[in-house]
Amino acid sequence: MGQTENMIERGSPIPSVTTQLITADGTSETTSEAVLGSGLVVFFAVPGAFTPTCHVNHLPGFVANAAKLRAAGVDRIVCAAVNDKHVMKAWAEASGALGQIDFLADGNGELADALGLSKDFSGAGMGKRFTRSAALIRDGIVQDVFVEDAPGVTATGAPAILMALETLKV
């Protein structure tokens, strides 16, 4: 399960995979294409809800920078993880992110696989998960994709995405 095999890249269309969407309005079944296919979307994926780096470093940066991202032209901010919809809803609520960030629950890792962003975390007892990543998507087409090559949040954090949005405007 290599994380770069068949990985989405600039110019790739977003695949349509059934998933669960968690928003301030509730939870609904939808497709990745319906959620990520319209307007300018910042999509970021984390290995797991409530996991230390994701909960303390990754998600809070997007919550804190949501207004700046919207001011930069972003229509929607979406966080995905290979967790069930109940865990994702609890995380969205506990983090105070609902209303600013929408969440995709990819319980079986099908979206992670379709995007070529799945990673085997079995060594940590977590099974298949998303590799820590982010993408800028305009009208369903990937404009740029970022993948962390080491533990922590640098290339996929909100500050890096804000910088990438500036580059995209050029």
Catalytic residues: 54
Instruction: Return left, alpha or beta for 122; rule: phi > 0 is left, psi -120 to 50 is alpha, else beta.
Output: alpha
Query: In terms of Cα–Cα distance, which of 109, 43, 50, 52 is closest to 79?
Result: 43
Closest by CA position to 116, among listed 147, 151, 158: 147
Instruction: Show the 3-state SS of 18-40.
Output: EEEEEECCEEEEEEHHHHHCCCE
